[in-house]
Structure 1
């Protein structure tokens, strides 16, 4: 049973997404089957758009659309897409066509098919965040969250100064006497602290407990949902905190990062997507390290993002890294390249009709696709000179 009121706009053409396909709403991801009339979805062109109608499409052939960065989305054969097609001479045109059309273009020799890249997401306002977003990013990168005393490591004076200025009232940093780059986050004996917290507990630890981060180790850290759904400026600061701590940016200007936590690096990738960037996760398995006592030991899998592409915003705040970062206009203009499209079976689908003029929605892995407008007959594929709509990409 579908959630919400279904309004029919005409006979179904079978255009839509599978019922379990994720759709990005103003409060986060929701399965297509749970989308209701009146819901607000994130508009890839900026802002939000309301669902006007739902269009059950029956059981249809389903295709998996895989992009060059490994992202995937699922849609029916007649589901509509907006895409840019480029021939071997780099001549470009914008197309609106079905999944079948998308597949035909992608299989042409020497042609590239590119999907639009979303603008930074705009979610529903969730109010004040429990901890400074840059501080949270540093703790995810360099914090020891499972020890009795909360600590983080850094050898950059700029980071130390910034973290010190963002701590809750009554808290301060104390440099470890045993480790040169480790700092403890403790109560300031000279201050009574905030009256909203117990006099015997570290308020930062209390907030970390509420977020579910207290006690996590490097291999099971994650980005809390409240920060994934924060406003764009706060999401950028979480990313910058993590990148200043664990990321790197060499002379080539390419930003890279690694983590032993799959959940954490997936959260960082979602932050990158939500800010208009692109990122691919790779994994290094079956490697070892040498323990001074026990010799060679098997190491955990390491997940890494070898490059952040398409971001106009600098993912670093720390000057020694931020000054190296280079945004590539060429990389950005390529948007999201379709690698292959495969038939994977049959399943019930549903389309949504939106109030937005962009006619676009976001499905799994931040893939931009079109909403559904039903008609008595399928609409023909249309194409437009790219020069007329360069703002789309």
Structure 2
């Protein structure tokens, strides 16, 4: 196996047994590939001191790798001018400025050589996003969509969920209305058995997302995300979705749900303001929507989603590569040649052996 193609030993990697540092991976372990399915590790090298570089992608995602480590990605190249039919007066005409995307396997050092202009890298190197991570279905006592609704807009002491009047039709399908003190602006519904189930999960007066729900199947994780977004999320006219909450633990959970379902996100933390007054800090998770993975169920939000995914929403752009000195790194060989690294599940090549 080749040395000099490694990733930093402290790089987190998702395995079928949970998160493991890259330096702790062993032959026979299973990591995840670009298709979201598990891949067996066929071989590993010992860790060695190597010259390392930090690759910074858009959305502030960072991975530390050796100079010879390979990345599979895309670059846009300008095509030659095309001769067009002559004009009405016999003048020659050409079409300029057409670009095409090429798939390439480049090393960290090659990517570092891409010229940097005033607006960032010139026709930068772009890496595809992974498919949703294929995790086994969990035995969940509360429907994940209902749990998402309650975590967003539920009474922390009971199984009552309150939503704006315009969403009453959707909420009425889940339970029985109870009196509300919001002067007609809010519809509250009590879902039978929900209070007891939430109490058994340790969620009463303690809103958080249980591990089983974060690690459910694609369908379960998507349902949970939809419940959270229908309550504490919005969809802008641009198709961008945003989750907003003062509970940073819930925001962390939404960030993982989004990542594990094949999206990339931006996180911002601001101070909440209303009527000129400052309130508790607010976390915001924003991502681009896709028709194949609807982030909402409420029609008024669902109708604003993108009708088709843009290329930018399906790829990560490497914005810069910087040397960070020497550090411990190693290489692995996996089935299929590609695997996911980092908390943001970035696709990278293994060692070719």
Q: TM-score range by the shorter chain?
A: 0.7 to 0.9
- Confirm or deny: 8 A CA contact 2:289 2:306 kept in the other structure: no
Could you tell me which of 129, 138, 141 is aligned with 2:149? Answer: 138
Distance 1:340 1:310, change over 3 A: farther
1:115 paired residue number: 127
1:78 correspondence with 2:30: no
Contact 1:43 1:362 in 2 (8 A): no
Of 183, 190, 206, 2:188 maps to: 183
Partner of 1:361: 340
Q: After the TM superposition, which segments of 4 or more aligned residues of structure 1 sit over 6 Å from their partners?
A: none
Other-structure match for 2:254: 268
1:80-95 aligned within 5 A:
80-87=70-77, 89-95=98-104
> Where in structure 2 are the equivalents of 1:10-29 lying within 5 Å?
10=1, 12-29=2-19
Q: How many residues align?
A: 327
CA shift in 2, pair 1:159/1:334, >3 Å? closer
* Residues 278 and 310, structure 1, Cα contact 8 Å, conserved in 2: no
* Paired residues of 2:264 and 2:313 also in contact (CA < 8 A): no
Question: Alignment partner for residue 269 of structure 2, among 260, 283, 288?
Answer: 283
Question: Is the CA contact (8 Å cut-off) linking 1:72 and 1:367 kept in structure 2?
Answer: no
Match of 2:95 in 1: none
What TM-score does the superposition give when structure 2 sets the normalisation length? 0.83
CA RMSD of aligned residues (A): 2.6
Structure 2 residue ranges without an equivalent (≥5): 79-97
In the aligned structure 1, how far is the partner of 2:293 from the partner of 2:137? 23
Q: What is aligned with 1:33? A: 23
Q: CA deviation at 1:311?
A: 6.4
More strand by share: 2
What TM-score, normalized to structure 1?
0.75
Q: Decide whether aligned partners of structure 1 residues 207 and 76 sit closer, same or farther in structure 2, where only a CA change above 3 A counts.
A: farther
Q: Secondary structure at the match of 2:140?
A: coil
Secondary structure of 2:310's match?
A: helix
Counterpart position of 1:344: 324
Q: Tell me, what secondary structure is at the counterpart of 1:265?
A: helix
Q: 1:250 to 1:98 in 2, by over 3 A?
A: closer
* Alpha-carbon distance change, 129 to 68 in structure 1, aligned in 2, over 3 angstroms: same
Deviation track 1:219-263 (CA, whole Å, cap 9, x = no partner) reads: xx5433222211111111111111111111243333222122333
Partner of 1:63: 53
Q: Following TM superposition, by how much is the alpha carbon of 1:360 offset from its aligned partner in structure 2, in angstroms?
A: 2.9
Matches within 5 A, 1:249-268: 249-268=235-254
Cα distance, 1:236–1:202 mapped onto 2, change above 3 Å: closer
Residue 300 of structure 1 aligns to a residue whose secondary structure is strand
Decide whether the 8 Å contact of 2:337 with 2:352 is kept in 1.
no
Distance 2:253 2:41 in 1: 27
Superposed displacement of residue 309, structure 1: 4.9
- Structure 1 residue 301: deviation in Å? 1.9
Alignment of 1:86-235 (within 5 A): 86-87=76-77, 89-105=98-114, 107=116, 110-123=122-135, 125=136, 127-145=138-156, 147=157, 149-154=158-163, 155=165, 156-164=167-175, 173-179=176-182, 180=184, 181=186, 183=188, 185=190, 202-209=195-202, 213-216=203-206, 221-235=207-221
Change in 2 beyond 3 A, CA 1:122/1:51: same
Range moving further from structure 2, 46-55 or 87-96: 87-96
Say if 1:62 and 1:309 are closer, same or farther in 2 by CA, change over 3 A. Answer: farther
